[in-house]
Amino acid sequence: MNTAQTSEIPHFPIYVGGEFKTTEQPVKIISSYSNLCVFQTCLGGQAEFEQAVQAACAVQTTMRDLPIFQRAQILMKIADLLRSEREKMGLIISLEASKPLKTALAEVDRSIQTFIISAEECKRLPGEVMSIDWIEAGANKDAIVKYFPVGVVAGIAPFNFPLNLVSHKVAPAIAAGCPIILKPASKTPIASLFLAQLIDQTSLPKGAFSVLPMNRKTGNQLVTDPRLNLLSFTGSPDIGWEMKKNAGKKKVILELGGNAGLIVEQDANIERAASKAVTGAFAYAGQTCIHTQRIYVHNDCFNKFLDLFKQGLSTLKIGAPEDPETDFSAMIDEKNAMRIEAWVNEAVSAGAEVIAGGTRKGNIYSPTILTNTRQEMKVCSLEAFAPIVIIEKFTNFKQTISAINDSDFGLQTGIFTHDNRKIHYAFQNLDVGGIIINDVPTFRADHMPYGGVKDSGLGREGPKYAIHDMLEAKVLVTDHTDCL
Amino acid sequence: MNTAQTSEIPHFPIYVGGEFKTTEQPVKIISSYSNLCVFQTCLGGQAEFEQAVQAACAVQTTMRDLPIFQRAQILMKIADLLRSEREKMGLIISLEASKPLKTALAEVDRSIQTFIISAEECKRLPGEVMSIDWIEAGANKDAIVKYFPVGVVAGIAPFNFPLNLVSHKVAPAIAAGCPIILKPASKTPIASLFLAQLIDQTSLPKGAFSVLPMNRKTGNQLVTDPRLNLLSFTGSPDIGWEMKKNAGKKKVILELGGNAGLIVEQDANIERAASKAVTGAFAYAGQTCIHTQRIYVHNDCFNKFLDLFKQGLSTLKIGAPEDPETDFSAMIDEKNAMRIEAWVNEAVSAGAEVIAGGTRKGNIYSPTILTNTRQEMKVCSLEAFAPIVIIEKFTNFKQTISAINDSDFGLQTGIFTHDNRKIHYAFQNLDVGGIIINDVPTFRADHMPYGGVKDSGLGREGPKYAIHDMLEAKVLVTDHTDCL
Amino acid sequence: MNTAQTSEIPHFPIYVGGEFKTTEQPVKIISSYSNLCVFQTCLGGQAEFEQAVQAACAVQTTMRDLPIFQRAQILMKIADLLRSEREKMGLIISLEASKPLKTALAEVDRSIQTFIISAEECKRLPGEVMSIDWIEAGANKDAIVKYFPVGVVAGIAPFNFPLNLVSHKVAPAIAAGCPIILKPASKTPIASLFLAQLIDQTSLPKGAFSVLPMNRKTGNQLVTDPRLNLLSFTGSPDIGWEMKKNAGKKKVILELGGNAGLIVEQDANIERAASKAVTGAFAYAGQTCIHTQRIYVHNDCFNKFLDLFKQGLSTLKIGAPEDPETDFSAMIDEKNAMRIEAWVNEAVSAGAEVIAGGTRKGNIYSPTILTNTRQEMKVCSLEAFAPIVIIEKFTNFKQTISAINDSDFGLQTGIFTHDNRKIHYAFQNLDVGGIIINDVPTFRADHMPYGGVKDSGLGREGPKYAIHDMLEAKVLVTDHTDCL
Amino acid sequence: MNTAQTSEIPHFPIYVGGEFKTTEQPVKIISSYSNLCVFQTCLGGQAEFEQAVQAACAVQTTMRDLPIFQRAQILMKIADLLRSEREKMGLIISLEASKPLKTALAEVDRSIQTFIISAEECKRLPGEVMSIDWIEAGANKDAIVKYFPVGVVAGIAPFNFPLNLVSHKVAPAIAAGCPIILKPASKTPIASLFLAQLIDQTSLPKGAFSVLPMNRKTGNQLVTDPRLNLLSFTGSPDIGWEMKKNAGKKKVILELGGNAGLIVEQDANIERAASKAVTGAFAYAGQTCIHTQRIYVHNDCFNKFLDLFKQGLSTLKIGAPEDPETDFSAMIDEKNAMRIEAWVNEAVSAGAEVIAGGTRKGNIYSPTILTNTRQEMKVCSLEAFAPIVIIEKFTNFKQTISAINDSDFGLQTGIFTHDNRKIHYAFQNLDVGGIIINDVPTFRADHMPYGGVKDSGLGREGPKYAIHDMLEAKVLVTDHTDCL
């Protein structure tokens, strides 16, 4: 892709009610690595928002009645098209998000999985046959419960996984039989607009999927418009919780951030732990919800771990995102790079020590290790969303569990140990959505229930769980007193 | 119970953090039938609210770790105590709510069921063994999902089922391992205060259940206090939806009102339909969420149905609630009696016809049949919560389904028919939470999923469903690469 | 495929422990339509049987430990290969089974489904998280149940669906992690030998699948050999029940025959009923387990139905199986054609009337309608497995249900009606495995639970159900008294 | 109970088709401890067998249609009656089985649990709502699966738990809606005859439960009679597997024996392990299927464990079964006491060493520890069903797992360890039905899936699992093409 001249920069129209459109509010997507414009698109305005909502409402009954085999065919077809366009989609993600190409391709592969899983799950929508005659008033009656689409879904996606976190809203919605209107992240809308081009080739009823970048004011109607029945938001905590307040009668699903912890016990495989932890800390410059931010290493293996970790860090290849060899590249924008720089400096002023990194070159913040931190420092207590990691010693397992719980967030925690007592204690006592034994908290399989407690969110994603939230139970009780 | 002198009127203390207390804000419970004071209690103030919250938070871990056999024992013990105190509890409900005694006793029986069901369901909390190796990154890993208590539950209950709708919050909370603080209805707090006396006799950890009447300002903290993790409200739509807005980061479950419809098709057993419909329309003077408010009868059997219905209505024995023969008594207060009087008059002015009833004597509004109504009249479109019923003719089934859907509410609908095509059409197309074939929409078995769509609420009750909402998924993924 | 000279007749080797082999016991497959040899293969002898068993046993642990993503990949790959070879596989089935090509191609499509369903189901093997602390002795303990492969599966398949009924054993076995040794029908082994060529191209561990035609004595060891842990047999009742007796400690699954009934009520869509019934009665010359054998039509619509049915019958195109236009062709062999001829003649002698057909030309027995039959005639009471159908009048629904139950068999029943009372009565009272409302008993979706009661079998197929039978529960209880 | 004179010895009639009967084949129950006659009853003959079968068949439809609330009431009523008669039932078991009274009372408590669990499970019979439109042929169709009673159940029970192992057949049968005919053990029929007296007081339809001691020839018809649809046998392996062969078309569930192993790793809590192991080895003189027969202790803690175990053994109080202090009493008969004496002697001759016990006084075989045994000795490889235990050293965990698997049986195994790698390895590799971490293999909670692999049985008990086996799936597919 040559990005030298505007006329040659690829332009992606928005997708509204089944039509590709270009509005008079052009948007340029600038690479945070190269500072070049890499893509062009435009914003949807009030008219486009209204068209999308009306199309979604109009297609609701069609979607509800769409036979399962057609839903599954559509979802599998999207997966097939993504497979065909894997390289192109990977490059798009890489360029718009400054994500190393190999990481971007892995995201495409995960998105394919997300569509396949949703295709399979739509065949297995919940349903119950229940005995209603537990009581005399129920004698001669039987009952079943079926689950029907909740209505129109509003999806709002973050910049960091421009394809897969969009897929985690779109695929379940199609599976559940819900039309969906998606607002992509303003910095990375292109992957979802390209996805729209693929979806448009399937037999998904037009209007069942719209994707349009919008300014905040227009987009906020996804939260407030009463014609939309469920809001699924992935993004930053403050914005998410404010949306919950303003969402009216809608169901609200929030996937927000965290400051994930990792514990490495003395009985662990230290080599493996260190190697996994480097990836957990620095993949996509730490810009993932389950970025490994806080590592607690048992005193007896601290030095060994730290040496191995530093060694691992030193092998990371820093470079242009689209270079297939690159492991590490620019952050999403300078504002964030400067933010993390300030947090680190603040921590250092307060006594923290920088073991590696700690420098910024434009949008690139170097992979950074901190130690001697305290819980109240921003680098510990807030979501860093940046390539920094805290590594601290510990001796008491239970206190370390408390330290991890001493946070407003509760997404995932990793623990390296083989001691079943510790595993049990952690499972009982950690206030998080997921615990990963012998791997980093950054592990996610797309079919598992994923989401956090406390400020980290409300509800769980993963197609089976997301689909369930997009459905509404309806019970059918039948009295057979007048039988043959 | 002699209610002649204040000193002799039974007084029920409030129950805060495991202690029975009397505050300096006395409350008199006045029978709407006799206008006599029948019970005394008091309001909890800020101090009591704070005590309840702190006790609930303090007991959270104990409740989470309470073995299942103890939870089940506690719940079964409550059921046993309710069985022993059936007559006394029935009389309390009857007197405070002006509910006919036989209806009140039926409520006690249902509440016993609710506790038994919850005892059984706590043995069957959800949990999943899942293959995590759907993808190569999951190889050598396994995973389970367990569900943990969501935290402290805030319950707010309505006046009409002072025991059983309270039980639908308390019993699931105990089963789920959640402490609960309950605000009973200001008009009917005594049943739940008596329930507290029974619960106090069990081994439920103190602090896990508090019940305190509060004024609106104090009580509103159940909605806003961030230490409470889930709000379960049953009551009127306006209040419920406002609470959702103010609930902060809490999960919110709303069980609100409806204007339930009933369709009687020509192939129905008309005698049975009419008999059931009289009960559906006038039980507890129509003051139930699933009160049969709108009846559509096929043209070909309209007259027969109406005759039988009027006949049924005429046999209702109107009288004092505590009289075991009484079928029908006063509404909860004069304000509501006057409200429904005004609505009926307004409907009549606009062309509706009163076939029976339509008169008010103090708090008693006579069982009333209206016809020739139009959708936009309040008696049709709003929740009557009063002993009135609309009976209209129809000829086209599908149009009648549309008429029922033409409402802000969607709780339950009854249909008398044997035609499977109509049943299927109704199940697919009615926007409600439950459809009852060959019985009235007023049917509810306490273990079934119960709740509405549209303005009628958010979420489902029924212990299994309520427990599920009071739990939070936690996944445990274990990597076995370092195996033996 | 030119079948003129032996040297040119396609030869398919057998597949033993991952090797394609040719033995010195050649077998010619003769078309029952053309009486020409269409394929060649050979019998496995004692050595090959032993090799297959040893290879299966040797690969057991590998199969048990095969990650789910690999099992799913293998199954999806088989589905893909079948899709690529659809035309060739269809022709093979058509030629070896004298099955009309369009029916044979439909079988290939169903087989593809069977592999896809199994791929999906292997991701969803059962598993339970259970509270073990329902009793005090369980306090501090938790428990999970996982399901492990039962061991080596022996599969024995019938001639009528040489691919899909084989797939219903092979695909679940792979999904469950069980090696499988398959004995195909002696008349139609080629489809499964060609399937072996496809499976061999996947990464299924060698030895996990063997397919070898055997003479009865050798093959009977699949029943008696104690190294095999589960026997899954589809075929004729007498043979199946005898196998159960001789199966030693094995689990046994039997899918046997039936004499399926169909009821057409007066409220039915008669056109649709007649059209579906013609297919149900004569597809593959009635040689399916759920062939529509006995039709009961309400007196009031009997003549109309019969006229439409005869009309439908008259449009069936009889011809060579490989001709794409053919609807109806030869039976599997002359023995069976002569058997059904004798049964019909016997029925006629006893008073039955032939309305259509009733003639035999070699192996082709014409599509035949009988009426005025009695329950005890072979054409009613035994499994016809031939293109004959009984059509009788009825007036009393309940008696007709009894008539259908008055049979040694109980596989499936069809009923055309919209009356929910009749549907309910039938569902409660029919002793069968499946009831199909508004379609013929011949309906089967490959994912539904399929199988019969009484003499029709033991257990259910359909991948989810078959997989479950191929698994063995193992509970893991862990005591945490010595916790941190 | 005074047992001095025949005329005063309590006599229990048999229970046939709802009638208590005495036949002319009297039976005396002789205590193996006191050699006195403690109870009298009689054998059912051919006439009684026939009456029981006919009554069971006659009541089949009634049982199938029995509303759930009535099934649950009956089961809870039995539990209540057992609670009322706990002391009497305990004494009966103690006397007829020579079971220490405290162990007998624990059995009564477990039996109460078994009935309660079944009451709860009958409310939760399986059922499925499934999408049938995974394929185009399923469009416009929906489907449910309900489970119906399999028919009449034949139950055959062993002597060692005369009440609870009977309850594990009777309670699930009632829950499933199946009539059941029970043959109790010839040595211990009284508990089940007393149970019949309790059940007779409930509203269980007469004929749904019969219990009759029979001689082997009469009783064998429970295996062979084609009117019985399921055989559930608990007892010795040889007899069980022979029954499977002769059971005709019946489903067969076998709960047979084992030679359960226990591994004690060096990281275990040795005190707890030794204490639990003494109970596992000697409770009811080792006469339980999951008797702890083979203990493997890690070399590093072997001496400590052995010392503690011997100490525990030495505190066992040997005495009369009905004495509340007794821990250990006579074996069921002299034949078995002599058998185990011979096995031990044989082992000693072959090199084994007796560390404790090894002596016989009449029917009392002293609690015995053996070491230096070899796998092929009967005390290792066969089911001892006697108060002996093998204790051996080990150093290699994986080899010890192999040693446990090197057995014809596979019921349960206990392991004391906290190492998650070992737990995982054991769970994957042990060929048993259950693994108990940090407790003995003798642990069983009555609701868990219980049963063995290899020669130890076929199928699982535990009410939920037993009920499932007593049900038969029936699918209802409905086509809605002719919709409104």
Option in B132, B439, B458 nearest A445 (CB):
B132
Residue B251 carries which side chain, given as an amino acid letter? K
Residue A183's SS3 state is strand
Residue C437 Cα distances to A41, A333, B422, C298, angstroms: 53, 62, 15, 15
**Other beta carbons less than 10 A from residue D355's beta carbon:** 17
Closest CA to A132 of D381, C196, B357, B443: B443
Q: Report, as an integer, the average pLDDT of C266-271.
A: 97
| Domains recognised in chain C with CATH numbers | 14-256+459-473 (3.40.605.10), 261-446 (3.40.309.10)
Distance CA D227, CA C171 (A): 35
Report the amino acid identity of residue C414.
Answer: G
pLDDT at D299 over 90: yes
**Cβ–Cβ gap A436/B477 under 8 Å:** yes
End-to-end Cα separation, chain C, in angstroms: 73
All residues at 6 or more sequence positions from B187 whose CB lies less than 8 Å from its CB, including other chains: B29, B96, B97, B159, B332, B333
Distance CA B241, CA D63 (A): 48
Residue D363 confidence class, pLDDT cut points 50, 70, 90: very high
Mind telling me how many Å the CA of D121 is from chain B's nearest CA?
Answer: 9
B160, C161 contact by CB (below 8 A): no
Q: What average pLDDT does the structure give for chain D? A: 97
**pLDDT tens, N- to C-terminus, chain B (484 residues):** 444 456 689 999 999 999 999 999 999 999 999 999 999 999 999 999 999 999 999 999 999 999 999 999 999 999 999 999 999 999 999 999 999 999 999 999 999 999 999 999 999 999 999 999 999 999 999 999 999 999 999 999 999 999 999 999 999 999 999 999 999 999 999 999 999 999 999 999 999 999 999 999 999 999 999 999 999 999 999 999 999 999 999 999 999 999 999 999 999 999 999 999 999 999 999 999 999 999 999 999 999 999 999 999 999 999 999 999 999 999 999 999 999 999 999 999 999 999 999 999 999 999 999 999 999 999 999 999 999 999 999 999 999 999 999 999 999 999 999 999 999 999 999 999 999 999 999 999 999 999 999 999 999 999 999 999 999 999 999 999 998 8
Inter-chain CB proximity D421 and A418 less than 8 Å: yes
| Partner residue facing B458 (CB), from A135, A251, A443 | A251
Q: How many CB atoms lie within 10 A of CB A291?
A: 29
pLDDT in the model for residue C5:
58
- Chain-centroid distance, C-alpha B475: 33
Let me know if B107 is a catalytic residue.
Answer: no
- What are the φ/ψ torsions at residue D3 (nearest 5 degrees)? -110, 20
Q: Give dist(CA B395, CA B299) in Å, integer.
A: 6
B76 close contact with C: CB closer than 8 A: no
| pTM (predicted TM-score) | 0.98
pLDDT at position A484 is 86
pLDDT of residue A1: 41
D285 contacts D291 by C-beta, under 8 angstroms: no
Q: What is the CA radius of gyration of chain A?
A: 24
- Distance between CA atoms of residues D242 and C249, nearest Å: 9
Among B109, B116, B174, CA closest to D76: B116
Nearest neighbour of B123 by CB, restricted to C124, C134, C417: C134
Q: How would you class B112 by CB atoms within 10 Å of its CB: exposed for 0-12, middle for 13-18, buried for 19 or more?
A: buried
Give, to the nearest 10 degrees, the angle between helix C86-97 and helix C101-122. 120
| C272 class by beta-carbon count within 10 Å (0-12 exposed, 13-18 middle, 19+ buried) | middle
* pLDDT tens per residue, range C114-170: 999 999 999 999 999 999 999 999 999 999 999 999 999 999 999 999 999 999 999
Separation between Cα atoms, residue D162 and residue D89, nearest integer Å: 10
Assess D123–B contact: CB distance below 8 Å, yes or no.
Answer: yes
Which residues are bridge partners to D255 per DSSP? D234, D457
User: Which residues does chain D have within 8 Å of residue B398's beta carbon, measured at their own beta carbons?
Assistant: 484
pLDDT attached to residue A2: 43
Residue A153 · residue A178 · CB < 8 Å? yes
If contacts are CB pairs under 8 Å, which of residues 270-329 in chain D contact chain B?
none
DSSP state of D137: G
Q: Which residues of chain A have pLDDT under 70?
A: 1-7
How far apart (Å, rounded) are the C-alpha atoms in residues D330 and D287?
10
Question: How many degrees, rounded to 5, is the angle at CA A55 between CA A50 and CA A60?
Answer: 130
In this structure, chain B runs to a length of 484
Chain B closest-CA separation from residue D428 CA (Å): 11
Q: Can you tell me the distance from the alpha carbon of A31 to that of A14, in angstroms, rounded to the nearest whole number?
A: 20
Residues 6+ apart with CB under 8 A from A33: A98, A320, A321, A329, A330, A363, A364
> Which of B428, B445, B477 lies at the smallest CB-CB distance from A443?
B477
Helix (H/G/I), strand (E/B), else coil: A410: strand
Touching subunits of B (3+ CB pairs, under 8 Å) are: A, C, D
CB-CB contact of A293 with A368 (8 Å): no
Please tell me the distance in Å from A465's CA to the nearest CA on chain D: 18
Q: Is residue D148 classed as helix, strand or coil in its secondary structure?
A: strand
Q: How far is A117 from chain C (nearest CA, A)?
A: 9
Closest CA to B6 of B39, B44, B42, B43: B39
Residue-level pLDDT at D165: 98
pLDDT of residue D14: 98
pLDDT at B484: 86
Please report which confidence band the pLDDT of residue D156 belongs to, taking 50, 70 and 90 as the band edges: very high
- Return the biggest CA–CA distance within chain C: 85
Q: Provide the Cα torsion C303, C305, C309, C312; round to 10°.
A: 110
Per CB-CB distance under 8 Å, the chain A contacts of B108 are none
Judged against a pLDDT cut of 90, whether residue D2 lies above it is answered with no
Q: Are D183 and D165 in contact (CB under 8 A)?
A: no
Contacts for B478 with CB less than 8 Å, ≥ 6 apart: A423, A437, A438, B141, B142, B143, D420, D424
Q: Which of A42, A122, A289, A380 is catalytic?
A: A289
Instruction: Give the pair of three-digit tokens for residue D223.
Output: 């295996």
D129 with A146: Cβ contact below 8 A? yes
Hey, CA dihedral for A274, A280, A286, A292, is it positive or negative?
negative
All partners of chain D with 3 or more CB pairs under 8 angstroms: A, B, C
What is the predicted pLDDT for the residue at A483? 86
Residue D436 CB partners (closer than 8 Å, separation 6+):
C477, C479, D412, D413, D414, D415, D443
- Residue in A with minimal Cα distance to D423: A420
Residues of C in contact with B133 (CB under 8 A): 67-69
Q: Which of D68, D76, D131 to mutate to test the interface with A (most CBs of A within 10 A)?
A: D131
With a CB cutoff of 8 Å and minimum separation 6, the contacts of B166 are B155, B157, B182, B184, B191, B192, B195, B211
Cβ–Cβ < 8 Å for C299, C393: yes
Predicted pLDDT at D484: 86
CB contact under 8 A, A72 and D125: no
CA D345/CA B166 separation, integer angstroms: 68
Q: Is the dihedral of CA A326, A327, A333, A339 positive or negative?
A: negative
pLDDT band per the 50, 70, 90 thresholds, residue D5 = low
Residues of D with catalytic roles: 255, 289
pLDDT tens-digit readout, B31-42: 999 999 999 999
Task: Using an 8 Å CB-CB cutoff, list chain B residues near C475.
Answer: none
Write down how long chain A is.
Answer: 484
Please give the average per-residue pLDDT across D423-446, as a whole number.
98
Pairing mode of beta strands A453-454, A409-410: antiparallel
Q: What share of chain B is helix, strand, coil (3-state, %, to 5)?
A: 40, 25, 35
ipTM at complex level: 0.97
CB-based contact C174:C203 (threshold 8 Å) = no
Report the distance separating Cα A25 and Cα A22, nearest Å: 8
Tens-place pLDDT, residues B327-340: 999 999 999 999 99
User: Residue C14 pLDDT more than 70?
Assistant: yes
Q: Are A362 and A285 in contact (CB under 8 A)?
A: no
Q: What's phi and psi for B271, nearest 5 deg?
A: -60, -50
* D442/D450 Cα distance (integer angstroms): 11
B85-92: long-range contacts at Cβ-Cβ below 8 A with a sequence spacing of 24 or more? B85/B194, B85/B198, B86/B112, B88/B194, B89/B163, B89/B191, B89/B194, B89/B195, B91/B1, B91/B322, B92/B39, B92/B190, B92/B191, B92/B194
Q: What's the confidence (pLDDT) of residue B1?
A: 41
Q: Which of D263, D437, C478 is nearest to B144 (CA)?
A: C478
Distance CA D183, CA A465 (A): 49
Cβ distance of D477 and C449 shorter than 8 Å:
no
- Burial label, A315 (beta-carbon count in 10 A; 0-12, 13-18, 19+): exposed
Query: Taking the CB of residue D399, how many other CB atoms lie within 10 A of it?
Result: 11
Q: Do B447 and A134 touch (CB under 8 A)?
A: yes
Residue D268 and residue D296 in contact, taking contact as beta carbons nearer than 8 Å: no
Computed from CA positions of residues B85, B87, B89, B90, in that sequence, does the dihedral angle turn out positive or negative? positive
Do residue A241 and residue B251 have CB atoms under 8 angstroms apart?
A: no
Residue C3 has pLDDT above 90, yes or no: no
Q: Report whether pLDDT(C34) > 70.
A: yes
